[in-house]
Amino acid sequence: MRKDLFLLLISFLLFSCRSREKQVFYEEMVGFPDKELGIEQGVSACFAGILDGYLLMAGGCNFPDVPAAEGGTKKYYKGIYAAKLTAENVLDWKLVGELPSEVAYGVTISLYDRLLMIGGNNSAESFKTAYSVAWTDDLHTTIQIDSLQSLPFPLDNMTGCLVGRYIYLAGGNKDGKPCNDVLRLSLDDMAKGWESLPSFPGQARIQSVCGGIDGVFYMWGGFDLSAKTLNTDGFCYDEAHRQWISVQGPEDIQHRPLFTGGGIAIARDSQQVIVIGGVNKDIFMTGMLQTDSLYMRHPIPWYQFNPYVLQFDGKRWKVLSHSQGITARAGAALVNGDGVFYMVGGELKPGIRSNKIYKFDIQE
């Protein structure tokens, strides 16, 4: 009898572990854009979204010729690519347009009938431009690009998202320097332009992650290379009092503070935000303090990028799953297609991009 109870207990524990790990189901998609020389190797920091059943991506950057660790030059792209989403998970990419400039490190906002592509930079300049990208017709063969209200200053490596009827942008490089600035644009009065909100407190932050929950803007993580600082905490914006409130940052499965700088976030719905990836805070700090290229020359596992899929509901964080080989990346793009998520490209280690695209479904 005791033996049977023991076996039953073991079976239950094993099933529980498998169930937790299987809350996120991954499928690798086949196909990556190849109409610009070098882009087929994979990019990070691209724009991405879904329009009328098509996955779109634009811009991005990589080191296609000489690796970054050997002094290679970063290349930026401007093609706008589209691939119809099908049950076969095969992406047949078409070049459907071009952005006015090669660009990466901006923010994508997905609306029901268009994508907004805001800011970013390339090797020559940072941008204060914002564009609306939409299909020209029902055949989905060409894209129309319209200019929106420009930002009040060039901005790149910021975080941003849609919260209710407002677009929020926070942090990033303002005129080339890390900042605490926060901008907001109303979709109901876009002619009014970008409104400056009170700056978030503390250190400047680039490459934070953010999301909207119950109409409130949240942001976490981020770093400042110039000051050699990084952050694991976060803030939310109290609209009624026009002030920022400190909120808990994410934790790993051992309840240690987790750095999500360079990671990606997207709203799961109006009540929850999904956060994936980012660099390892201790190893990244080592890189910030080093003055030679040794930091760039380690194998991928050495960097220990954050492998977790996290969820935040405004009160607590939850680790849904983790996969070192799939979700441990920085600078990827994350898209929500009616509850099915798509993760595009990203960095596997400093300077090394991925041309993998994964679809995943969260089941609880």
pLDDT score of 6 more than 50: no
Q: Are 244 and 168 in contact (CB under 8 A)?
A: no
Report which of residues 112 and 77 the model is more confident about: 77
Q: For residue 286, name the pLDDT band (cuts at 50, 70, 90).
A: confident
In sign, the C-alpha dihedral spanning 275, 78, 143, 87 is negative
- Rounded to 5 degrees, φ, ψ at 314 are 95, -15
The average pLDDT across 348-357 equals: 96
Listed by start position, the domains of the chain span 26-362
Please name which of 193, 194, 191, 163 lies closest in space to residue 181, comparing C-alpha atoms.
Answer: 194
Edge-first strand listing for the sheet containing 333-337: 24-28, 357-362, 340-344, 333-337
Which pTM was predicted? Answer: 0.92
The average pLDDT across 49-54 equals: 96
pLDDT score of 354 more than 70: yes
Per-residue model confidence as pLDDT tens digits over 220-271:
999 998 889 999 999 999 999 999 999 999 998 888 899 999 999 999 999 9
Position 132 scores a pLDDT of 97
Domain 26-362 is in which class? mainly beta
Cβ neighbours of 246 (radius 10 Å): 11
CA 273 to chain centre: 12
The average pLDDT across 145-163 equals: 97
Q: Cα–Cα distance between 262 and 182 in angstroms, integer?
A: 18
The average pLDDT across 331-350 equals: 96
pLDDT score of 17 more than 60: no
Per-residue model confidence as pLDDT tens digits over 293-335:
788 999 999 999 999 999 999 999 999 998 889 999 999 999 9
pLDDT score of 1 more than 50: no
Position 22 scores a pLDDT of 47
Position 330 scores a pLDDT of 97
Q: Are strands 79-84 and 54-58 parallel, antiparallel or unpaired?
A: antiparallel
Lowest mean pLDDT among 2-16, 49-63, 310-324: 2-16
Q: Which residues pair with 361 in a beta bridge?
A: 25, 340
Q: Are 351 and 62 in contact (CB under 8 A)?
A: no
C-alpha dihedral (69, 179, 245, 230), degrees to nearest 10: 30
The per-residue b/e assignment along 112-127, b for 16 or more CB within 10 angstroms, e otherwise, is eebbbbbbbbbeeebb
Mean pLDDT of the chain: 91
For residue 100, which amino acid is it? Answer: P
Position 291 scores a pLDDT of 66
